[in-house]
Amino acid sequence: MTAVRAKSHTGFPSVAQDYFSSDFSFDANIITHPDTTFIMRINGSSMEGAGIFDGDIILVDRSLTPEHDDIVVITYEEELLLRRLTTNNQGNPVLSTYAMHDKDIHLYFDESITLWGVIIGSYHPQHSSVRNIRG
């Protein structure tokens, strides 16, 4: 894959602008723990507020320790779920989504939750030829 760096924020570089082209590898630049990093496809819309949409692809690193405000994958009631890790007023961990119908999960009340991994990135397909691929 070839990466192009441009000075433009959301447009394209003009022919007169300086830019460079070099090989880009997700394995070398994004995935720092290849043995513990997994790819998952999202099914659902509860994390759209975090920019993660139905059909998106996420990278999950199982070796990381989650920090405040990280998006994590958990196992809860035999399902894999995405949640944002925050704390409540008492400093206790809370897992939440952006969907009004989802209840917050308070970790000190529920021992049936297992941290599966921490989201390190996501990919949102733009072209229909990629959006329609289901894995």
Per the DSSP assignment, residues forming a β-bridge with 19 are none
Is 127 among the domain residues? yes
Structure tokens at 10: 């959301």
Is 77 among the domain residues? yes
Q: Output the pLDDT for position 14.
A: 56
Is 4 among the domain residues? no
Please tell me which residue, 22 or 112, carries the higher pLDDT value: 112
CATH, residue 115: 2.10.109.10
CA atoms of 95 and 79, how far apart (whole Å) = 15
- For the segment 26-51, what is each residue's pLDDT rounded down to a tens digit? 778 788 899 999 999 999 999 999 99
Banded model confidence at residue 9, pLDDT cuts 50, 70, 90? very low
Is 85 among the domain residues? yes
Question: What is the helix (H) or strand (E) element at residue 84, kind and residue range?
Answer: strand 79-87
- Domain span at 126: 32-131
Q: Output the pLDDT for position 5.
A: 46
Q: Output the pLDDT for position 110.
A: 60
Q: How many domains does the chain have?
A: 1
Is 9 among the domain residues? no
